[in-house]
């Protein structure tokens, strides 16, 4: 199957568009909500379930079925029924990726009932675009693809997500969240929902203390603090954090730490290269606004910090460090690690970086 051209930003834009359409009560006969990121799929399904029918109508005209407990023929038969005492009936198919003979849904998607709204939640992967089922959904309804963000895309989305709830979040707190929870929006949104409920009334800013208190991520021993200590050449602080990671390996996987360090030194390499182009090729050095775009950073303040840090690390050393990080990335996955635990590998990596 051909790889999708849809990007995370496309999913976000389409999600916002569909929310507006649903709020305006402009409904499609079919919604195929598919992809790896469950957050957007769940939110759209909930919006549709709460918006199309009122509470009294839902008792008679809204049906939820699950793919593992159904087959395509049963779903088609449900969709062909007429609503009772209302304009629409709503059929919600959850876990559609587990539906037996899903291709046979094409008998319905190619000719949908005007009084039925079918919501198909197809998680974990996309439906086959070559299938008659998919083509029927695309021709007669809405297809929404939910894409998981890359690591550099998650922070900007989260800041907007938090702002939509009337809050701001500190840079360190944001890094703690993304380092600990990865790029799963569903997991991060769930933790943030619990956090906002727990915080005192009137709170306007989420800090590292809030993350530590309510989510349980240490504000002193995390990848944000480790990267900061390394680039400031604070060996003692770096090794202290590494020792904490070694005592808590499940909360601090080595691969995540290596990704964080790689991103930090990749940015320094880029800045030093741009400086080299200015000195040796006469190219103008980019403005801070342009650097925000190049480095994919959300603020001028972060760019300013990176410029200061880049001055401490000539690119000859940065290039060697990136090579070390690639080597230890392989070791974190069990290649040529000699059976060493993650804590020992991290300490070894940090010592090599400082001794360059």
User: According to the model, what pLDDT value does residue 57 have?
Assistant: 92
| Residue ranges of the chain that CATH labels 3.40.50.300 | 8-146
Sole residue written with tokens 């890094």: 175
Q: Residue 99 above 80 pLDDT?
A: yes
| Eight-class DSSP state of 105 | G
Mean per-residue pLDDT, 301-320: 93
Q: Residue 166 above 70 pLDDT?
A: yes
Q: 100 - beta bridge partners? A: 71
| Residue ranges of the chain that CATH labels 1.10.8.60 | 151-215
Q: Residue 56 above 80 pLDDT?
A: yes
- Out of 129-133, 247-251, 349-353, pick the least confident: 247-251
Mean per-residue pLDDT, 132-147: 96
Per-residue model confidence as pLDDT tens digits over 176-204: 888 887 788 888 888 888 888 888 888 89
Q: Residue 246 above 90 pLDDT?
A: yes
Per-residue model confidence as pLDDT tens digits over 115-134: 999 999 999 999 999 999 99
Query: 51 or 298: whose pLDDT is higher?
Result: 51
Mean per-residue pLDDT, 46-75: 94
Per-residue model confidence as pLDDT tens digits over 9-50: 999 999 999 999 999 999 999 999 999 999 999 999 999 999
Q: In whole numbers, what is the pLDDT of the chain averaged over residues? A: 92
- Out of 13-27, 65-79, 163-177, 271-285, pick the least confident: 163-177
Q: Residue 1 above 60 pLDDT?
A: no
Residue 131 CB neighbour total at 10 angstroms:
15
CATH code of 223-355, in short, is: 1.20.272.10
What SS3 class is residue 316? helix
Per-residue model confidence as pLDDT tens digits over 206-232: 999 988 888 888 888 899 999 999 999
Q: Residue 234 above 80 pLDDT?
A: yes
Angle (nearest 5°) at CA 31 between 149 and 72? 110
Q: Residue 261 above 90 pLDDT?
A: yes
DSSP 140-194: HSEEEEEPPPPHHHHHHHHHHHHHTTT-EE-HHHHHHHHHHHTT-HHHHHHHHHH
CATH code of 8-146, in short, is: 3.40.50.300
Which CATH architecture is the domain 151-215 placed in? Answer: Orthogonal Bundle (1.10)
Answer for the pair 109, 136: CB distance below 8 angstroms, yes or no: yes
Mean per-residue pLDDT, 305-331: 94
Torsion of CA 20, 26, 27, 31, to 10 degrees: -40
User: According to the model, what pLDDT value does residue 3 have?
Assistant: 61
Q: What is the reported pTM?
A: 0.76
| Residue ranges of the chain that CATH labels 1.20.272.10 | 223-355
User: According to the model, what pLDDT value does residue 315 have?
Assistant: 94
What SS3 class is residue 257? helix
User: According to the model, what pLDDT value does residue 2 have?
Assistant: 52
CA proximity to 252, closest of 194, 332, 335, 330: 332
User: According to the model, what pLDDT value does residue 226 have?
Assistant: 95
Count of residues in the chain: 356
């Amino acid at each position: 199957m051909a790889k999708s051209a849809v990007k995370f930003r496309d999913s976000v834009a389409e999600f916002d568009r569909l929310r507006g359409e649903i709020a305006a009560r402009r409904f499609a006969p079919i919604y195929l909500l598919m992809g790896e990121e469950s957050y957007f799929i769940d939110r759209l399904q909930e919006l549709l379930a709460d918006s199309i029918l009122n509470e009294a109508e839902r008792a008679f005209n809204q049906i939820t079925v699950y793919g593992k407990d159904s087959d395509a023929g049963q779903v088609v038969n449900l969709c062909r029924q007429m609503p009772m005492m209302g304009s629409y009936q709503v059929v919600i198919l959850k876990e559609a990726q587990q539906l037996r003979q899903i291709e046979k849904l094409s008998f319905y998607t190619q000719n949908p009932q005007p009084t039925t709204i079918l919501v198909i939640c197809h998680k974990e992967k996309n439906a086959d675009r070559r299938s008659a089922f998919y083509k029927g959904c695309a021709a007669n309804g809405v297809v929404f693809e939910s894409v998981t963000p890359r690591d550099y895309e998650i922070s900007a989305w989260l800041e907007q997500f938090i702002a939509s709830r009337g809050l701001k979040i500190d840079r360190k707190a944001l890094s703690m969240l993304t380092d600990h929870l990865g790029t799963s929006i569903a997991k991060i949104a769930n933790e943030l929902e619990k956090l906002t409920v727990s915080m005192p009334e009137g709170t306007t800013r989420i800090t590292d203390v809030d993350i530590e208190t309510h989510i349980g991520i240490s504000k002193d021993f995390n990848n944000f603090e480790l990267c900061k200590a390394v680039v400031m050449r604070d060996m003692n602080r770096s090794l202290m954090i590494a020792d904490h990671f070694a005592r808590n390996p499940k909360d601090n996987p080595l691969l995540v730490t290596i990704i964080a360090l790689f991103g930090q030194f990749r940015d320094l390499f880029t800045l030093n290269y741009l400086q080299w182009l200015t000195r040796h090729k006469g190219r103008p050095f980019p403005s801070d606004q342009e650097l925000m775009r190049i480095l994919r950073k959300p603020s001028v303040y972060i760019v300013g910090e990176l410029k200061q840090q880049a001055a401490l690390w000539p690119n000859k050393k940065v290039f060697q460090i990136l090579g070390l990080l690639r080597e230890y990335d392989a070791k974190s996955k069990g290649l040529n690690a000699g059976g060493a635990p993650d804590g020992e590998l991290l300490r070894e990596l940090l010592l090599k970086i400082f001794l360059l």
